[in-house]
Amino acid sequence: MTRKTTRLVIVPPVSEPERCFTRLEPELAELVKLRTVRSNVPELVVRLLALLPGLQELRQDFILCFRVFDVRRLDTLADYAWCLLHADTLYRAATTVPRNANGLLKEALELRHFLRKKARLIDPDLEAEELTQLRGTRRYDAVAADLELLHAWLSERKELCVVPSRKMVRVTSIVPSLRRIAAAQDPQSELAVAAHERRARAYTLLYRVYQEIRRSVIFLRRDTFDGDEIAPKLFAEPKPKQVFAAPIPINRPRRRKATTAEASSVEPPQREGERDLPPETTEPN
């Protein structure tokens, strides 16, 4: 009697920010002019979600006063905030070097050395066309490429050499981590540039939607003057450039040099106390 075993595939649940980001991807792709992210995104999302109850109380006023305004923007404002939070999380994951980067590199180097020893059992001089592409350096991207190449080469020849399965599984999990670290160290990498653009698109979309709602709230509450309290400014604006006017030249009269005659006619300055002395008189003999 054979015993049938079933393997469960664990799929991570889709979070609410990821679900909102997937739904809003068409709107993100339509944006052309993007804004620079100048705010702390987690703090911005928390403040925005705290304002939602007060904004929802004005929903009926939006419907009665504005015929053109799309009230679905107000209903789905939280989705735009979750979308930005998910994009910011992906950006931080792509541009932040983890603390265990050195330990991960050390483990990857040992794993590459082990797989190369197994490859030498099949090809002692590593003269195969694929193995000649091994880089052998200590850079994160080079180590990841070598591990990926050795994993593929040994998988095709698993009948010629036995490699522990845990080693092969570890290769598949450590290679993406090495590539993320390499991308985080290089701001111009494709992964970092894509993450930066993705976050800028989500930030721009939320900015446009919230600014539209904020202007409408200020118009509705123009008599009570509490529009800024219901929908305050949340996005940091760029500081205006200070333009200094050019200094105005002042034409001061130049001092004219005194001539020789004028200089001789000027009396020498008197010493202190000479003015109080009486004039000298000569007594007759």
Q: Which of 185, 215, 244 is the last residue of a domain?
A: 185
pLDDT of residue 244: 64
- Is residue 272 in some structural domain? no
In this prediction, residues 185-199 reach a mean pLDDT of: 88
- 24 contacts 86 by C-beta, under 8 angstroms: no
Domain check: are 79 and 112 in the same one?
no
Domain check: are 170 and 145 in the same one?
yes
- Is residue 62 in some structural domain? yes
Domain check: are 221 and 201 in the same one?
yes
pLDDT of residue 239: 73
pLDDT of residue 232: 92
- Is residue 202 in some structural domain? yes
Domain check: are 152 and 180 in the same one?
yes
In this prediction, residues 10-30 reach a mean pLDDT of: 85
- Is residue 67 in some structural domain? yes
**Neighbouring C-beta atoms of residue 82, cutoff 10 Å:** 23
- Is residue 265 in some structural domain? no
pLDDT of residue 15: 84
pLDDT band of residue 94 (cuts 50, 70, 90) is confident
pLDDT of residue 114: 93
Mind listing the pLDDT tens digit for each residue in 219-251? Answer: 998 888 888 899 999 888 777 766 666 666 666
- Is residue 248 in some structural domain? no
Number of domains in the chain: 2
Residue 183 has pLDDT above 90, yes or no: no
pLDDT of residue 258: 60
Domain check: are 216 and 87 in the same one?
yes
Task: For the full predicted model, state whether its pTM sits above 0.95.
Answer: no
pLDDT of residue 5: 47
CA distance 138 to 179: 13
Domain check: are 81 and 117 in the same one?
no
Domain check: are 80 and 137 in the same one?
no
Domain check: are 79 and 105 in the same one?
no
In this prediction, residues 24-40 reach a mean pLDDT of: 92
pLDDT of residue 197: 94
- Is residue 53 in some structural domain? yes
Domain check: are 36 and 68 in the same one?
yes
Domain check: are 109 and 181 in the same one?
yes
Residue 74: which of 203, 201, 205, 209 has the closest Cα?
Answer: 209
Domain check: are 173 and 205 in the same one?
no
pLDDT of residue 206: 95
Mind listing the pLDDT tens digit for each residue in 202-226? Answer: 999 999 999 999 999 999 988 888 8
Structural domain that includes position 151: 101-185
pLDDT band of residue 123 (cuts 50, 70, 90) is confident
Domain check: are 53 and 165 in the same one?
no
- Is residue 251 in some structural domain? no
Q: Which residue has the higher pLDDT, 238 or 194?
A: 194
